[in-house]
Amino acid sequence: MKSRRFVLTFPPEATGEPITYNLIRKFDIMVNIVKADVSPGQVGHLVMEMSAPSKVLKDGIEYMKQQNVECVPIDRTITYRKELCVHCGACSAVCFAGALTMDRKSAELVFEPEKCVVCELCLTACPLKLFEIDLG
């Protein structure tokens, strides 16, 4: 079972196909819509997580292509606006993965993205709201 995130870009002219419905019903792909920005008559974007065995996922993506839906995989990453950070440490309190720690000597925040499990807790824990999810 593979779970990956994708940005789907829909053409302005609706295909009439209930795409996400079909992915679930016809392909048996588990779908989780993370972010939707779709309005009629315009290019629409959808950020969606799909879980299914690799082969099924591939078929689903092929199906979307046939419907003129662009499908680009993304890997979520966490970023923060370092230049605004005051090194208070509030984010390090919630980062159980150990990606955010306070350097003992410099008393500065250290971010090691490779340890991040994208739990998203730092997004709300930072009192300055410096963290963002980068959707790739």
Partner 1 sequence: MSKKRTIAEINEKILSGKAVVLTAEQVAAMGREATPAEIAEKVDVVTTGTFGPMCSSGMFINFGHTDPPMRMERITLNNVPVFAGIAAVDAYIGATETALPHDQYGGAHVIEELIAGRDVMMQATAKGTDCYPRTEVKTLINRESVNEMIMFNPRNAYQNYNVAVNSTSKMKYTYMGTLLPSFGNATFSTSGELSPLLNDPEMRTIGIGTRIFFGGTTGYVAWHGTQFNTGKPVNEHGVPVGNSATLALIGNAKEMNTRFIRAAYFEKYGVSIFVGVGIPIPVLDEDLARRVMIRNSQIETNVLDYGSPGHDLLGRANYESLFSGEISLNGKKIRTAPLSSLRVAREIAETLRGEIAAGRFLLTAPVENFKMTSGLNNLEIRL
Summarize as ranges the residues that interact with partner 1 (CB under 8 A): 86-90, 92-94, 96, 101-102, 104, 106-108, 121, 124-125, 127-129
Partner touching 47 among ligand SF4, partner 1, none, CB below 5 to 8 Å by kind? none
Binding residue for ligand SF4, selected from 14, 36, 72, 86, defined by CB under 6 A: 86
Q: How many helices (H) and strands (E) does the chain have?
A: 4, 8
Dihedral of CA 61/62/66/68: which sign? positive
Per-residue CA distances from 80 to 29, 77, 87, 124 (Å): 33, 10, 12, 12
Interface map 100-119 toward ligand SF4 (x if CB under 6 A): x--------x------xxxx
- Beta carbon nearer to partner 1, 30 or 86: 86
Cβ-based neighbours of 89, under 8 Å, separated by 6 or more: 102, 109
Work out how close the CB of 84 gets to partner 1 at its nearest, in angstroms, rounded to a whole number.
9
Cα separation, 111 vs 49, in Å, equals 26
Binding site partner of 124, from partner 1, ligand SF4, none, Cβ cut-off 5-8 A by kind: partner 1
The β-bridge partners of 2 are 52
Residues in contact with ligand SF4 by the rule CB under 6 A = 78, 80, 85-91, 94-95, 97, 99-100, 109, 116-122, 126, 128, 130
